[in-house]
Amino acid sequence: MKYIVASIDEIPPGGRKIVEVAGLSIGIFNLSGEFFALRNRCPHQGGPLCEGKLWGLLEATVPGEFTYTRRGEILTCAWHGWEFDIRTGQSWCDPRRLRARTYDVRVEPGSELVESAGDAGDDLATSGMARVKGPYVAETYPVSKEGQYVVVEIKG
């Protein structure tokens, strides 16, 4: 199931937004225009993972020569400092065993989202479920197809 969680303007590069989707708290991160989603729950002890600090990696190929790479791509749990790769959910504390839950994220134009929402009603008609018109009519409003939106997919 796809969920629209933000317009791309709501999460600037280097930023994040924590949202509720299908009863789950999920952090959406913008890494230089690429969007990633992690469950807002640390697999270590259940802390609010996506509220932690963002860091990079300090790497050395030889003693005394350091480079700081992947700026803003490593998320540290606020409770115990465990580190996770935002791109993959991989733990840097216990990489073979622990990983944060990741979700598929896409940026889609508003026009595609409006069209796919219209197709959902067609699925009911072809699935054999009959619809019966009721006596009430809901008030309707125009729908805009402008902009691009961040969409998270939760697999059932």
pLDDT: is 82 or 130 the higher one?
82
106-138 pLDDT, tens digit each: 898 876 666 665 555 444 444 444 556 666 677
pLDDT: is 149 or 145 the higher one?
149
Cα diameter, the chain: 77
If DSSP codes are grouped into helix, strand and coil, which group holds residue 155? Answer: coil
The domains located in the chain, with CATH, are 1-41+101-130+141-156 (2.20.25.680), 52-98 (no CATH)
